[in-house]
């Protein structure tokens, strides 16, 4: 699961997505992660959703794909939210989950060093 999470974050950063954020929403020892990223236009979010689906072999529905302003890929236990810049600021998941935000690569380095 962590491998897919790393793959997703690295992919989004390689596409120069703005403000890629990872939120650890684990409860009761069940891992659940939200990945949130933004792109300039709905065409960009659609392209990201299509290519990300191929990368992680995701064949389920892409919620919000038709409009493209906010696309959700629920690859349980990882949920990816792809926003246009305007929609991300409008819904502001970053503020809602701020206390759950993690630096994924820092966490991995920390676990490897133990």
pLDDT band at 3 (very low <50, low <70, confident <90, very high): confident
Four-residue CA torsion sign, 19, 90, 42, 72: positive
- Of 4-13, 24-33, 74-83, 86-95, the one with minimum mean pLDDT is 24-33
The count of domains in the chain is 1
112 in any annotated domain: no
pLDDT band at 26 (very low <50, low <70, confident <90, very high): confident
pLDDT band at 109 (very low <50, low <70, confident <90, very high): low
Residue in the structure block whose two tokens are 């991300």: 88
Angle at Cα 8 formed by Cα 78 and Cα 104, nearest 5°? 80
113 in any annotated domain: no
8 in any annotated domain: yes
114 in any annotated domain: no
111 in any annotated domain: no
84 in any annotated domain: yes
Give dist(CA 106, CA 94) in Å, integer: 19
Give dist(CA 31, CA 4) in Å, integer: 13
Report the DSSP pairing between strands 101-102 and 18-24. antiparallel
CATH number at residue 58: 3.30.460.10
- 109: tokens are 């380095």
Can you give the pTM of this predicted structure?
0.88
pLDDT (0 to 100) of residue 11: 93
* Nearest alpha carbon to residue 48 among 80, 86, 19: 80
**Domain range for residue 54?**
2-103
Secondary structure class of 28 (helix, strand, coil): coil
pLDDT (0 to 100) of residue 78: 94
Q: For 36-68, how does the pLDDT look when each residue is reduced to its tens digit (9 = 90+)?
A: 999 999 999 999 999 999 999 999 999 999 999
Q: Answer yes or no: is pLDDT of 107 > 90.
A: no
Assign 3-class secondary structure to 27-46: ECCECCEEEEEEECCHHHHH
110 in any annotated domain: no
Q: Answer yes or no: is pLDDT of 114 > 80.
A: no
């Amino acid at each position: 699961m962590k491998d897919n999470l790393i793959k997703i974050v690295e992919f989004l950063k390689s596409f120069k997505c703005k403000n890629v954020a990872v939120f650890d929403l684990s409860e009761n020892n069940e891992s659940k992660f939200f990945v949130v990223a933004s792109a300039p236009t709905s065409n960009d979010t659609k392209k990201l959703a299509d290519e990300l689906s191929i990368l992680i072999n995701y064949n389920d529905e892409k919620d919000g794909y038709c409009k493209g302003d906010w696309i959700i890929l629920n690859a349980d236990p990882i949920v990816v939210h792809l926003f246009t810049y305007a929609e991300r600021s409008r819904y502001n998941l970053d503020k809602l989950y701020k206390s759950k935000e993690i630096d994924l690569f820092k966490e991995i380095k920390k676990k490897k060093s133990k």
